[in-house]
Amino acid sequence: MKIGAQLYTVRDFTQTVQDFTQTIKKVADIGYKYVQISGVGPIPAQEIGNICDAHDLDIIITHTPPGRILDDIATVIEEHHMMGAKYIGIGSMPGEYERTMAGVQRFIDDFAPIAEEIAKEGLTFMYHNHAFEFEKVGNKRILEHLMAGLPEAGFTLDTYWVQYAGAGPAAWIRKLKGRVPVIHLKDMAIVEEKQRMCEVMEGNLPWPMIFASCIEAGVEYGMVEQDDCYGVDPFESLKISYDHLKGVV
């Protein structure tokens, strides 16, 4: 598994071309060779690609606003080709879709044709989970409905949120074998009896089991991410995870 950085972790430092360039240099200096574009400011795709190329960073996947994917998929596909990114991702099922059987089906009806169109262009539509996808509607988890209803989609399984839902990341990575080319690597700590995100191998997730399941399921990229670094410099957070992971996976 190749280790990358999910730039959402450093989103506060990617809102202008100058800041994005400095951030990419810092990420490359840590040792990362792969990135996910997410939370970046209004910078043209070609410029994003050129900046990453200049620092020998490959763009693997994005999180793209779902509305753009629905309303302007041709441009989104073109941008991903510009950046060399194979995976077009969304961060979650948007809130406008109710967490009911009807809402989930409406999401599937909207995005299944889009996933097919993306696949025809040699790319893959990727769905990233939080915890709510493990709620049951119609006697199945929402994630199971998405797996069945979006046959052309892949899943960017997030280890923290699966654990948060009490579902077990290693087991779910295996269940998604062949459909999880990219996952998010994020650990869980307990602080004052509350769950919170932390750097990989600084918390309590069963990483040997998770890494073994990644090999079994064909995971190619693990993107390190922290939504909240709780006062730690986010670049230092990315470095801590990278240093723990290098030589292990």
pLDDT in tens, 114-159: 999 999 999 999 999 999 999 999 999 999 999 999 999 999 999 9
User: What is the spatial distance between Cα 65 and Cα 63, in angstroms, rounded to a whole number?
Assistant: 7
Model confidence at 249, in pLDDT bands (50, 70, 90)? confident
Angle (CA) 86-89-95 rounded to 5° is 170
The share of the chain scoring above pLDDT 90, in percent, equals 99
* Tokens encoding 146: 């998405």
pLDDT in tens, 14-73: 999 999 999 999 999 999 999 999 999 999 999 999 999 999 999 999 999 999 999 999
Model confidence at 231, in pLDDT bands (50, 70, 90)? very high
Q: What is the pLDDT of residue 239?
A: 98
pLDDT in tens, 148-198: 999 999 999 999 999 999 999 999 999 999 999 999 999 999 999 999 999
Specify the residue for token string 């790319």: 123
State the CB neighbour count (10 A cutoff) for residue 111: 24
Single pTM value for the model: 0.97
